[in-house]
Amino acid sequence: MTPRLGASLLRLFAVQGSWNYERMIGLGVGVAEEPLLRDLPGGVAGPAYRAAVARGARFFNAHPYLCGLVVGAAARAEHDGASPEQVERLRAALTGPLGALGDRLVWAGWLPFASGLALMAVALGAGWPAIAGFLLIYNAGHVALRWWALRAGWAHGPRVAAALHDAGLQRAVAWTGPAMALATGAALPLVALHLAAPFDDWARAALAAAAAGGFAVLQLRWPAIGGLRLGLVLVAAALVVGWVWQ
């Protein structure tokens, strides 16, 4: 089964390639699940295979790095003789948890953590090797997560909920949050010093004042102003000031 798991993993890298509003990443999930269904009774010409492939391509939406969990679990359930209704309930039950877990673990944890490390390295003079290091570290983590999810789903099948309580996974979730905060908190002042180095002292003071004013505005939590709008206003103001200065 390992070669077929490998083929499924490779297809998972393109799971969002057929994204659409009707099925979200369902078609990609079905394509990734297909190699694991080829040895169902009757083979690829049998009705069990055709029905399972059709079910696998129905609506599904979750974090792309963790959808291997449902690919492996649904395929294992098909091999175990689960009814179509049980397979559908399994897929529906995993949609929310995998989406929330992936957002917390990857988008709010691993990605900003790796980005913070890269920004610190660039600010300290590492240059292009820091960018290469970011790509290596981040992708090593995300590929490992995809492979773990696929194998865990295949191993647990319909009882895949147990995989979500895996001790290693829970430690990763608990670790990435504080690590992200540390990395980004350390990167911000280093990057600010790096970017402000070419400017005169008065320009640095003006930059610090603008940053402090922005934080103050955000702390007031004015309903009409958010971080994005404030950033756009400051960029527009900087363009105007630069044009006048010239």
pLDDT at 152: 96
User: What number of other Cβ atoms are within 10 A of residue 130's Cβ?
Assistant: 18
Q: Are 25 and 61 in contact (CB under 8 A)?
A: yes
Model confidence, pTM = 0.84
CB 106 within 8 A of CB 142: yes
Q: ∠ at Cα 69 (81, 144), nearest 5°?
A: 140
Place of tokens 């570290």: 137
Residue-level pLDDT at 228: 63
Residue 11 amino acid letter = R
Residue with token string 């590929």: 143
Report mean pLDDT in 10-residue bins for the chain, 246 residues. 90 94 95 96 94 96 96 97 95 94 94 94 93 96 96 94 89 93 91 83 81 75 62 73 74
Q: How many Å apart are CA 244 and CA 242, to the nearest integer?
A: 5
Please give the angle made by the CA atoms of 58, 62 and 66, to the nearest 5 degrees: 110
Euclidean distance between CA atoms 105 and 238, whole angstroms:
35
Task: Give the Å distances, CA to CA, from 47 to 50, 63, 91, 153.
Answer: 5, 30, 21, 24
| Token reading at 221 | 């939590």
**How far apart are the two ends of the chain, measured CA to CA in Å?**
67
The residue ranges of every structural domain in the chain are: 2-184, 199-245
Q: Which residue type, as a one-letter code, is found at position 6? A: G
pLDDT given for residue 1 in this prediction: 59
What pLDDT was estimated at residue 186?
93
- pLDDT confidence of residue 54: 95
Comparing CA positions, the residue from 89, 101, 35 lying closest to residue 62 is 101
Rounded to whole angstroms, the Cα distance separating 23 from 201 reads 55
User: CA separation (Å) from 29 to 36, 147, 149?
Assistant: 12, 14, 13
Candidates 137, 109, 99; CA nearest to 121 is 137
Burial class (CB in 10 A: 0-12, 13-18, 19+), 150: buried
